[in-house]
Structure 1
Amino acid sequence: MTKIMLTIGGSDPFSGGGIQTDLKTFNNYHTFGLSVLTSIVTLVDNTLEIHPVPKEVFVAQLRSVEDVSFSGIKIGLIANPEFIPLIQKFLLSHSNVPLVLDPVLAFKEGDSTIETDLLAGIRNKLAPLATLVTPNLVEAETLSGREINSLDEMKNVAIQLRDEYKTAVLLKGGNRLIGESATDLLALPDEKIVKHYQAPKISTRTINGAGCSLSAAVLAGLVTDTMESAVDLAKKYVYKSIQRGVKVTEKFGSVYFDNLSE
């Protein structure tokens, strides 16, 4: 029987990140994806705008899928801190399935109250329910309150977040740290060893959605695999998705996995 996955997050008009890439990833993993929208993202005149859906619409979406038997749930961009207790209640009623929390932190300048409330909600209400948390470096710095400028600092923050939330943490290094390799770190709650995932950095602009795709791929993999196996496969999947990415504009492109060529 085909497994049903749920993604709760924002809509990306470029289909690189957000629920669009989650649904494509679920499909490539031969699972069936459902979605609940928190927001619609726009990019006009180089200005990123996040438009949360009305609260009553968000509630109605959750109620629409509350009786579905999911095999996994992913949380991405939340946009409105008022959604967090609603998501928490929903998750508690589906607590028997893997939950991947991708703590997308995108705030406008001056939205300090929203930022504070979202961070508190993620830390206190959502992260403790997660099977895996998948921050990038900036998100990990925000969640931990520490700067990351080296692999050792990255490892320390991964361990800090793992111990704080008592869950697995996949810290995505991307291309920011010095060196020829991009490094991700996996800290498991029941192990002292932090596993390193390294791959040569790719000089390409087709990276939009890489983080979203990775977290969705890990979730789909957890349906049948262990955490380490799911992350191994997801890393390979996203690497190919970057290599085969689609150039959307002259300035950037989005990840894409042509599973027909496999």
Structure 2
Amino acid sequence: MTKIVLTIGGSDPFAGGGIQTDLKTFGDYHTFGISVLTSIVTLVDNNLAIHPVTKEVFLAQLKSIEQVNFSGIKIGLIANPEFIPLIKEFLQKHPDIPIILDPVLVFKEGNSAIEKEILAGIRGELAPLTTLITPNLTEAETLSKRKINSLQEMKEVAILLQKEYKTAVLIKGGGRLAGERAIDLLALPETKIVEYQAQKIKAITINGAGCSLSAAITAGLTKDKLEKAVSDAKGYVYKSIQAGVMVTAEFGSVYFEESIIKSNNLPA
């Protein structure tokens, strides 16, 4: 039977991130994606704007899917701190399935009152209910209030966050750290660290890579253990960057071609 997976997040008009990428990733993993919108994102004249849906509309979406039997849930851009108790209540109704929290922080440097409220909600309300949280380096710095300039500091922050939230933590290193290889770190209980490395790709078709990774892990956890789900998701996103689509003359988005799925037997 086809597994049903839910994404809670924002809409990206370029379909490079947000729920558009999540739903496509779920489909690539042969799961059926359902979505609940928190917001609509726009980018006009280089001005990124987030337009949250109303609290009433957000709650109505959650109520609409109460009877669905989910096999996994991903949470992305929350946009409004008033959504956090509603998300928490919804998650508590699904205690036995994988829940992945991608703490998308798009407000400037964590200084806005909205982001501070969302951070507090992530720390105190949502993270303890999750199977895994997947911050990038900047988000990990914001969550930990520590700078990350080396692999050792990345490991220390991963362990710190794992102990604080009492859940697995995957820090996405991306291309920011020095060196020829991109490194992600998975922190598990009992101070276990799993390191994932790949050659850095010189490509600009990277829009949506973080969203796609967390969505792929969510779908992967419907059939595999965490370490394998992360490993497979890393391979999936790597190939998605290589096969990415130029959306405008300036940037491109990740894309996973069906031919890659067939030739690599991944992720089916």
1:2-41 equivalent positions in 2, closer than 5 A:
2-41=2-41
**Structure 1 residues 192, 79: CA separation in 2 closer, same or farther (over 3 Å shift)?**
same
Query: How far off its partner does 1:209 sit?
Result: 0.4
Counterpart mapping for 1:216-231 below 5 A: 216-231=215-230
Alignment of 1:97-246 (within 5 A): 97-108=97-108, 112-189=112-189, 191-246=190-245
Structure 2 unmatched runs, 5+? 263-268
1:78 match:
78
Looking at structure 2, the residues matched to 69 and 208 of structure 1 have their Cα atoms a distance apart, in angstroms, of 31
Query: Does the residue aligned with 2:49 lie in a helix, a strand or coil?
Result: strand
Q: CA RMSD in A?
A: 1.1
- Kindly state the Cα deviation for residue 192 of structure 1 after the two structures are TM-superposed: 2.7
Tell me if structure 1 keeps the 8 A contact 2:110–2:142. Answer: no
Is it true that 1:93 corresponds to 2:108 in the alignment? no
Aligned residues: 261
* Partners of 1:70 and 1:244 in 2: CA distance: 30
Shift of 1:250: 1.3
Distance (Å, rounded) in 1 between the aligned partners of 2:163 and 2:68:
32
Question: Would the aligned equivalents of 2:4 and 2:34 in 1 still touch at CA under 8 Å?
Answer: yes
Q: Counterpart of 1:215 in structure 2: which amino acid?
A: S
- Larger deviation, residues 33-42 vs 107-116: 107-116
TM-score, normalised to structure 1's length?
0.97
Structure 2 CA distance for partners of 1:186 and 1:110, relative to 1, 3 Å: closer
Q: Deviation of residue 188 (structure 1)?
A: 1.1
Amino acid at match of 1:70: F
Partner of 2:257: 258
- Runs of 4+ residues deviating >6 angstroms: none
For residue 100 of structure 2, what is the amino acid of its counterpart?
V
**Aligned-pair CA distance for 1:66:** 1.1
For 2:255, give the aligned amino acid: Y
Take 2:67 and 2:202, find their aligned partners in 1: how far apart are those partners? 44
Distance 1:247 1:142, change over 3 A: same
The CA distance in 2 between the partners of 1:110 and 1:256, in whole Å, is 30
Aligned-pair identity in percent equals 72
Q: For residues 93 and 66 of structure 2, what CA distance do their matches in structure 1 show?
A: 8
The CA distance in 2 between the partners of 1:226 and 1:109, in whole Å, is 34
- Structure 2 CA distance for aligned equivalents of residues 247 and 219 of structure 1: 26
Q: Which residue of 2 aligns with 1:68?
A: 68
Give how far 1:154 is off.
0.4
CA deviation after TM superposition for structure 1 residue 25, in Å: 0.4
Structure-2 separation of matches of 1:138 and 1:192: 22
SS in 1 for 2:57: helix
- Report the residue type matching 2:47 in the other structure: T
Q: What are the superposed Cα offsets for residues 132-154 of structure 1, whole Å, 9 maximum, x if unpaired?
A: 00000000000000000000000
- Aligned equivalents of 1:71, 1:42: Cα separation in 2: 31
Q: 1:110 to 1:168 in 2, by over 3 A?
A: closer
Tell me the amino acid that sits aligned with residue 218 of structure 2: L
What TM-score do the two structures reach when normalised by structure 2?
0.95
What is the deviation of 1:113? 1.2
Q: Classify 1:156/1:214 alpha carbon distance in 2 versus 1 (closer, same or farther; 3 Å).
A: same
Question: How many angstroms does 1:112 deviate by?
Answer: 1.9
Task: Check the 8 A contact 2:71/2:97 in 1, yes or no.
Answer: yes
Query: C-alpha separation between the residues in 2 aligned to 1:219 and 1:160?
Result: 23
Distance in structure 2 (CA, Å) of the matches to 1:174 and 1:52: 28
Task: Using the TM superposition, give the Cα deviation of residue 110 of structure 1 relative to its aligned residue in structure 2, in angstroms.
Answer: 9.3
- Report SS of the residue matched to 2:81: coil
Structure 1 residues 201-252: Cα deviation after superposition (integer angstroms, max 9, x where no partner): 1111100000000001011111111111101100000000000000011111
SS, match of residue 37 in structure 1 = strand
> What is the identity, as a one-letter code, of the residue corresponding to 2:229?
A
Code of the residue aligned with 1:21 in structure 2: it is T
